Amino acid sequence: MDKDLLLRSIQFLEEFSTKNRIDLINQNINNRTRFISVVLENIFQSQNASAVVRSCDCFGIQDLHIIENSNEYILNPDVVMGASKWVDLYRHNEKEQNTLETIKELKEKGYRIVATTPHTNDVLLPDFDLSKGKSAFFFGTELTGLSDVVMEHADEFVKIPMYGFTESFNVSVSAALVLNQLATNIRKTNVDWQLSELEKLELKLEWLKKSVNKGEMLLEEQYKRWKMR
């Protein structure tokens, strides 16, 4: 969709929304980023999977990739609390090697592949260098962690500092801790982490369609009217 049509579509749907809602959408779009992405590999507990979606929304992460090798990704509505409406979910479940294909796809888009694991001593989370480029953080299953495929193809490894006897956090807590640290740190850098102007317009339109009652249908009807003029 070209920019002119995007702007017209946004202006049309704003007529059906309140000023407070529009202000909130604008505020959240300015805090959204694709500089950091999250990848969940083969998560099987729905409450943990759903909690990660909620954390992505809370910390302004727009893209969440879900690799479904043997476990289907199921959202728990009582946990996700509607956050899936605002986060872009990409499900990878159609290839013979979903994990490897996801890694290749992200690398082609310029992402560093970062494995979050307590079993390496590469970089502690507070010391992770965001200025080196876009990063996709991989989180593994609750029982076995990340697969060998991720560990073999990761560009970097990051470890959450821990000071107790327990070996690791569960995946939802790990994701929340990582995203909290990164969302805080990136705003202290000179990194261009925000969405482009075109991405902001595209996202605003999508959010307005979800915010306005029957927004998609209203817009489709309006498109027909514009074509008849």
Residue-wise pLDDT tens digits, 111-139: 999 999 887 668 999 999 999 999 999 99
Instruction: Kindly list the structural domains of the chain, giving each domain's residue range(s) and its CATH number in brackets, ordered by start.
Output: 3-7+35-194 (3.40.1280.10)
At residue 52 the predicted structure's pLDDT band, cuts being 50, 70 and 90, is very high
Find the mean pLDDT for residues 79-95. 84
Residue 78: predicted pLDDT: 59
Residue 75: predicted pLDDT: 67
Burial of residue 14 (CB within 10 Å: 0-12, 13-18, 19+) is: middle
Most confident listed range (48-62, 134-148, 178-192): 178-192
What are the C-alpha distances in Å from 89 to residues 52, 86, 176, 194, 198? 11, 9, 17, 19, 20
Q: Contact, 142 vs 135, CB < 8 A?
A: no
Residue 108: predicted pLDDT: 98
Res. 79: pLDDT tops 90: no
User: Could you give the CA distance from residue 160 to residue 181 in angstroms, rounded to a whole number?
Assistant: 10
3-state secondary structure of 143: coil
Residue 122: predicted pLDDT: 83
pLDDT higher for 81 or 214? 214
Residue 80: predicted pLDDT: 58
Residue 146: predicted pLDDT: 92
Q: Of 73, 35, 82, which Cα lies nearest the Cα of 54?
A: 82
- DSSP at 169: -
- Residues of 148-166 as b/e, b for ≥16 C-beta within 10 angstroms? ebbbebbebbbbbeeeeee
pLDDT higher for 55 or 49? 55
Residue 76: predicted pLDDT: 63
At residue 38 the predicted structure's pLDDT band, cuts being 50, 70 and 90, is very high
What are the C-alpha distances in Å from 36 to residues 89, 133, 220, 223? 14, 9, 33, 34
3-state secondary structure of 22: helix
Residue-wise pLDDT tens digits, 149-205: 999 999 999 999 989 988 788 889 999 999 999 999 999 999 999 999 999 999 999
Contacts of 222 (CB under 8 A, 6+ apart): 9, 12
Residue 100: predicted pLDDT: 96
**pTM to 2 decimal places:** 0.92
